[in-house]
Amino acid sequence: MPKIGMEEVRRQQLIDATLASVEEHGLQGTTISTISKLAGVSSGIISHYFGGKQALLEATVRYLLEQLRQDLLAQVAQGASPKERLMMIVEANFTRLQSSGRAAKTWLAFWAQSMHSEDLARLQRVNAARLEANLRYSFKALIDPFAVKMAAQRTAAMIDGFWLRSALNRCEEQGFDLARESCKAFIQDMLSKYAKGKRC
């Protein structure tokens, strides 16, 4: 009889192994075999819990998305002003996990594969929509209504763009730190330029 909670532990073990395999072998080189070896389990365990590599990859991306959501929730749990919340959104996208080699290579592989998989494309649309919605929510309290959607879209593009550039350049932590601060500076520019009652 399986131990209580063992399924959750095993699933996380396989997700961690998938992150490690993508980091080491890339998405194309990642197989059921490479994942099972890194996890120290038989390949049949992967089929039992996920059905195959594609479903496990989707679960791994969902894990990264959930961690992104949880990191933001943890930061705003104590309450935050709209401006502080904007900065926390940036922080959540540049945490140590999201900027790690494992996560970075998995995100890059996910984005590339999402152009060929409707399930992964749907996850990407959810991710993009969530980011913009969070940004709009905070900008709405700080800038003129006409600029809210535009500011959210541009800020989301800045976050994704700076993160992508840092990941592709294989930046060390300092590079991601600079990217994070550049995104915060852009937000400050948006707040100054489109502050409520200030038409440009």
* pLDDT over threshold 60, residue 162: yes
**How high is the pLDDT of residue 1?**
43
Percentage above 70 pLDDT, the chain: 92
* pLDDT over threshold 70, residue 199: no
- Domains of the chain and CATH, by start: 6-193 (1.10.357.10)
* pLDDT-derived band at 120, boundaries 50, 70, 90: confident
Q: How far is CA 69 from CA 41, 81, 89, 130, 145, in A?
A: 30, 18, 9, 9, 26
Q: For the segment 15-71, what is each residue's pLDDT rounded down to a tens digit?
A: 999 999 998 998 888 999 999 999 998 888 888 888 888 889 889 989 988 988 888
Residue pair 106/22 in contact (Cβ under 8 Å)? The answer is yes
**How high is the pLDDT of residue 3?**
55
Distance CA 147, CA 138 (A): 12
Q: For the segment 103-112, what is each residue's pLDDT rounded down to a tens digit?
A: 888 888 888 8
Distance CA 53, CA 194 (A): 47
Integer distance in angstroms from the first to the last C-alpha of the chain?
Answer: 68
* pLDDT-derived band at 183, boundaries 50, 70, 90: very high
Q: Which two tokens stand for residue 59?
A: 């679960």
pTM attached to this predicted model: 0.83
